[in-house]
Amino acid sequence: MTEIAVTNFGEHEGEKVFLFTLSNSKGTRISVTNYGCIITELWVADRQGNQDDIVLGFDKLSNYQTGHPFFGAIAGRCANRIAEGQFALNNKNYTLAKNEIITGQHLHGGIKGFDKYLWHAEVTQKNGVVFSRLSPNGEEGYPGNLKVEHSIHLTDDNRIVLEFMAETDMPTIVNMVNHSYYNLDGHKGKIENLELEINADFYTPVDEKTMLPNGEILGVKNTAFDFTHRQKIAEAMKKRPNHDFDVNYVLRKNNSSSPDVTLYSPQSGRKMEIYTTCPAVQFYNGFKLSNKIWNGKEGHRYQAFSGLCLETQSFPDSIHYPHFSNISLYPGEKYYSRTEHLFTIGG
C-alpha cells in the first residue's frame, strides 16, 4: 500500500507550494512538488538494504526558482530543441522563444516553460498525484489553449509510473518529458561506472554546434553510441573526444517484454528498467554540469557526470522532419505517453 504525505515546500508568487511524498512497503520513496512537477528526491534500497537518494536536485524551493538545468522537472510544451524557434503548422507560421543562448534555439518549452509554473495537484486513489494546468494560447509562442495533466504513481512492486496527457482547441505541437538526473550510486560518485543498455539500433545525429538533428537516422553499430548490449558508460565515453553524450535513440518497439532502457550499478546492485510508449529516449550524461557551480542536496556539489538523464520522448525537432515521430496535436485528439521505471536488485 502506497502512503502519501503532503508538506509545505515554500511559496511561489504568493501561493503555497507543496511537496508530495509517496512511499511503498519496500521503502522506496519519491518526493515531487507542484512547482514544475519537479521530482526532488527518490530513495531506493541497494543490495544491502541501505537507502540512497538517486536523483540530483536541491533541498530548498528557492534553488529551483532561481534557475537550474531542469533537475527532475517537467519539460514542455515541447522538450528538446526546435530549430531557430520557428515552425509551420496548417499553413501558419509560429515563432517561439529562443532560450538556449549558445545555440539560439528553442529548448524545453522556452523562457518560462512548464517547469516554472505552479500546477494544481490532486492526490488520487491510485497511489499517486495528478498535476494539471491550462497552458494558454500564445504561451512562449505556442498556439492553442492546452489542457495538460501529468500523473506520478508509485506501486508496491517498485514501479514509478509517469503519464502525460493533453488536449488542445487549436492545432499545436506537444512533446513532454521528465528531466530527472539519475545516479544509482546516490550522491557518492559519478556515473561512469554505471552500466547502460538501450534497446535501439538507430539514433538521430545532430550538428555539433546547434545540437539540432540533420534529418538522418543512422545505425549505432560500430559507433560510440552503441548500447545494444549492456556496457560500462566509462568505456563508451572513451570513444567520444569530449566524453559527451546528448543523443536521441530510436527505440526498437518490437512488442517484446524487454525494457527499452536498463541502467545498472555494479557497486550498489540497483537496477532501473524503463518501459515507455514513447518512440525515443534521449541519453544525456551530464557533461555540461560543470559549466556552472550547482550546490545540490546535503552540500553536494554537482559536476560533470554527477548524474545522467534518460528522457523518454518524441524525436527532437520532429516538426521539421515528416519522417520523424509526430508531435502535432489537433482538436479532438488526445496526447498521451506513459513511462514506467522499475527498480530491482540486479546482476
Dihedral sign of CA atoms 33, 37, 40, 41 in order:
positive
**Residue linked to cell 508530495:** 20
* pLDDT, the chain, mean: 97
Residue 153 among known ligand-binding residues: no
Determine which helix (DSSP H) or strand (DSSP E) holds 134, and give its type and residue range: strand 128-135
Residue 94 among known ligand-binding residues: no
- Residues with a known catalytic role: 179, 311
Residue 256 among known ligand-binding residues: no
The cell for 285 is 550524461
Q: What's the whole-number mean pLDDT along residues 32-52?
A: 98
Task: Give the pLDDT band (50/70/90) at residue 103.
Answer: confident
How high is the pLDDT of residue 298? Answer: 87
Q: Backbone dihedral region of 125: left (phi > 0), alpha (psi from -120 to 50 degrees) or beta?
A: alpha
Task: Give the pLDDT band (50/70/90) at residue 44.
Answer: very high
Q: Per residue in 247-261, is it b (16+ CB within 10 Å) or e — as a string?
A: bbbbbeeeeeeebbb
Q: Which residue type, as a one-letter code, is found at position 96?
A: L
Residue 182 among known ligand-binding residues: no
The CA distance from 274 to 110, in Å, is 27
Residue 301 among known ligand-binding residues: no
The CA distance from 184 to 162, in Å, is 19
Are 315 and 213 a contacting pair, CB within 8 Å? yes
CATH of domain 3-345: 2.70.98.10
Residue 300 among known ligand-binding residues: no
Are 190 and 183 a contacting pair, CB within 8 Å? yes
So where are the chain's domains?
3-345
**232/126: higher pLDDT:** 232
This prediction has a pTM of 0.97
pLDDT tens digit sequence for 166-206: 999 999 999 999 999 999 999 988 899 999 999 999 999 99
DSSP state of 124: -
Three-state secondary structure call for residue 301: strand
